Amino acid sequence: MGENLSIVTISLLLLLASTSAVQVFDIKSYGGQPNADITQALTKAWTAACAVAGSKVVISAGTYKLGVVTLLGPCKGAIEFNLQGTLEAPSDVASFKGKDFWVSFERIDSLTVSGGGVFDGKGQMAWQKNNCNQNYNCKILPSNIRFDFLTNSIVRDIQSKDSKFFHINVLGCKSLQIQHVTITAPGNSPNTDGIHIGRSSSITITDANIGTGDDCISIGDGTQDITVNQVTCGPGHGISVGSLGKYQNEQPVSGIKVIGGTFSNTENGVRIKTWPASPPGIASDIHFENLIMNNVDNPILIDQGYCPNGQCSKKSPSKVKISNVSFKNIRGTSSTKEAVKLICSSSVPCQQVVVADIDLVNKGSGGSATSSCVNIKPTILGKQNPPACTTKQ
């Protein structure tokens, strides 16, 4: 019996070993060299790796030029994109030929992106051409990385810098973990959101360090079950749910948790923003907890009259219904007097909002911090500095 068992065990181990063997596809085997353009080499390596079960594409240390590339699935099995070096995007927007991305990972199950390497978007020239602050329907510039329709995937230990537009754009993904990523761009670089998530579910972002010219993390419509843990944010515009209500037929947003993190010298801390005169929408089950604010302009903000640069009509209120929201254990310093602003819609006032254990000190001028509430009657718990809803507008 023991002998038979050992034969079965050995057979099983051999089977496991054979199925877990990962084939390595190094771009150097396909002609990819440092200080040269590796667009063709990477495309060939990816195609070959995608065709086998269990593979790894490797870009070793060094600096490489890379044009626009789509790394497309589905693949035969799990696949890893291992970037150890630095990829450099073309500086000139014209070379993107209207594409809104630089590197796209699309329709892949069990993708791992790792290696500690850098996606350098070379955005400096493009930022000067960005007119989105004046033009409501501006031309969208290329994002550094798109993750479209991925499932059961992990992105870890990578860096994105100086994207022309969003750094990481997540769309239509399910069960995606983003761990220990670093995202950097100057504070005055327009629309360089760190991570934007739309129409995705079961996404976790853990231990990210993000400093850009726009939202560190922004959450768009149709996004559900998102957990953000231990994010360091700044410079930038904070972590935003929205903006919502800009377009017809937006899908509900729900199940958002931002737990643990530090915001330094940002325009906002945590906010929910919706456009006035919007179609109906829903944002619910949204929770912000255990956060530290260092010199933040608007640490806690609900803004249902979001209308940047007067690009919309404020004649009618937002119809996006906000409910079941909590702000708990948020402390630190505000750079403005109004540390807490909860400005809800007169059409659909906010409901089931809890404000608990707030301690925010005004480091700017004008005296002690204040808190304003409009079209909302929050449940108030624990310490309240500033006192909740001290100014009514």
Other C-beta atoms closer than 10 Å to the C-beta of 141 total 23
Q: Can you tell me the distance from the alpha carbon of 8 to that of 60, in angstroms, rounded to the nearest whole number?
A: 40
The one catalytic residue in 237, 285, 297, 303 is 237
Active site residue 37: no
The one catalytic residue in 120, 148, 193, 214 is 214
Q: Can you tell me the distance from the alpha carbon of 45 to that of 62, in angstroms, rounded to the nearest whole number?
A: 17
Active site residue 237: yes
Catalytic residue list: 214, 237
